[in-house]
Structure 1
Amino acid sequence: MTSANDLRSGKTHRDENFPVASWIIHPRHRGLILAFYNFVRTADDIADHASLDGAAKLSYLDLLEAELLGQGDSQPEAVNLRRALAERAMPPRHALDVLTAFRMDVTKLRYENWDEVIHYCRYSAMPVGRFMLDVHGESTSTWAASDALCAALQINNHLQDCGKDYRDLNRVYLPRDTLEAAGADVEALGQTRSSPALLQCLHALAARNEGLLAQSISLGAEVKDLRLGLEISVIQAFADKIVRLLKLRDPLSERVHLKPIELLAQSAGGIASELARRMIGRRPLSNPAPRA
């Protein structure tokens, strides 16, 4: 059997739409976070692999799970994460949850409604935030705001990549009922430009996702670790900027990803606002006014 590592797409933590174990995070946490990322990235690449059939994908995902739980040492990503977690006496539950999402990616190609999408996010995205909070010793009371932020990041990604997901994987995360309400059909995702009906659907979903980001704005204030609070503020700034692009643009024909200079500007703004908030000792009450 080919090693799961050989099935990697080549994407690394530097290619994500959000910072992963950036310089903001304390160095003592970066090794564990990167081990978690590499495990998740490997599983994600398996689920999205162009030449593997469904049975093979599920077999590899099962192998990663087995070795994460100590049943073998042939898959470096699973072994490295298992050992890194053991050093902190942390359970593998968040990594196991993410594997549930990748199995869904193999077996479920369509979503009926918003609740089904959120259920997917419960396994694909929310465990990542919960893992980060656990690494920093934060209270589980922070999970609600974290879940909202992570789900919003995932849905931003679904909207950004909706055309690619359909063309390459025949996978559609846009809820069927929202498409239907707008008078759009799935096949429109295969075009180079959105139809008016599809664009209406995409903008409606972006507006709904902005509501999730309003629920997550308190997270930076809820965590005790300063560095983590700064990282969260940067991620929130990225997500806020992207959702504003998605409310106005067509992801099939226009840029809805941030350029390096925009990433830098959003990072600086997020850090500055969180530092100012902590100096004043004030909790944010609502989503801040949009930045240009």
Structure 2
Amino acid sequence: MSITDLQSGKGAGNENFPVASKLIAPRHRPPVMAFYHFVRAADDVADHPTAPAGEKLALLDSMRASLTGESDAVREGVALRVILAERGLSPVHALDLLEAFRRDCTKLRYHDWDELMDYCRYSAMPVGRFVLDVHGEPQDLWPANDALCAALQIINHLQDCAKDWRELGRVYIPTPLLEQAGVAVDALGET
């Protein structure tokens, strides 16, 4: 199984947000698009409904190796690695996202808000941090970025909760919140 085999067919025009919109200066669009293509490929791997977790994890490891220069096996990883090097940017945000995607392969429930926020630390916050870094913004903007990105991630989880439950058996809504609302996990598939 390859990364190509697991592609969803989703592209920049199918996202809930504009990718490298005209609001981003043209000189910043190439790294944003390289980051997007890498992350989209990794997300497709993690969210593939039938691929076994072990195979997904192996593919994500291959992506990591291509990003860090240990391999040239994954074109999206190589492309991002090259543009990061050209721009003097760190791969840390892409590596953080890979951690979130690894969790997506094996973790199906979040037991409390802190656990969900820790997931968002890897799944959402790095996206905004990367965009800030591309634009040369200071890290003191990260707290505001992190709050916004976590909020958008949770909204996305709520939007996709029925699909995530039906297709992946994954529920991001913390279990106690469901219990407090008197909602069984199975009810998520009814929406």
Q: Same fold (TM over 0.5)?
A: yes
For structure 2, the 5+ residue unaligned runs are none
CA radius of gyration, larger in: 1
1:128 maps to which residue? Answer: 127
2:136 maps to which residue? Answer: 137
Distance 1:184 1:91 in 2: 42
- Please tell me whether the aligned partners of residues 57 and 105 of structure 2 are also in contact (alpha carbons under 8 angstroms): yes
Q: Show CA shifts across 1:203-257 (max 9, x none).
A: xxxxxxxxxxxxxxxxxxxxxxxxxxxxxxxxxxxxxxxxxxxxxxxxx2xxxxx
- Please tell me whether the aligned partners of residues 62 and 73 of structure 2 are also in contact (alpha carbons under 8 angstroms): no
Distance 2:70 2:5 in 1: 20
Residue 50 of structure 1: how far off its partner (Å): 2.1
**SS of residue matched to 1:157:** helix
Aligned length: 191
Distance 2:4 2:33 in 1: 15
1:155 maps to which residue? Answer: 154
The structure 1 segments of at least 4 consecutive aligned residues displaced by more than 6 Å after TM superposition are none
* Paired residue type of 1:113: D
Distance 2:45 2:34 in 1: 17
Scaled by the length of structure 1, the TM-score of the pair is 0.64
Q: Show CA shifts across 1:19-42 (max 9, x none).
A: 110011100010110000000010
* Paired residue type of 1:101: A
Residue 44 of structure 1: how far off its partner (Å): 0.4
- Please tell me whether the aligned partners of residues 57 and 106 of structure 1 are also in contact (alpha carbons under 8 angstroms): yes
Distance 1:46 1:104 in 2: 12
Distance 2:33 2:102 in 1: 22
For structure 1, the 5+ residue unaligned runs are 192-251, 253-292
- Please tell me whether the aligned partners of residues 44 and 102 of structure 1 are also in contact (alpha carbons under 8 angstroms): yes
2:165 maps to which residue? Answer: 166
**SS of residue matched to 2:158:** helix
- Please tell me whether the aligned partners of residues 5 and 77 of structure 1 are also in contact (alpha carbons under 8 angstroms): no
Residue 74 of structure 1: how far off its partner (Å): 2.0
Q: Show CA shifts across 1:160-200 (max 9, x none).
A: 01100000000000110111111111011121xxxxxxxxx
* Paired residue type of 2:27: R
Determine whether 1:9 maps to 2:12.
no
RMSD: 0.9
Determine whether 1:44 maps to 2:21.
no
- Please tell me whether the aligned partners of residues 46 and 102 of structure 2 are also in contact (alpha carbons under 8 angstroms): yes
**SS of residue matched to 1:161:** helix
Q: How does 1:272-287 map to 2 (within 5 A)?
A: none
* Identical positions, percent: 60
Scaled by the length of structure 2, the TM-score of the pair is 0.97
- Please tell me whether the aligned partners of residues 9 and 45 of structure 1 are also in contact (alpha carbons under 8 angstroms): yes
Distance 1:13 1:120 in 2: 23
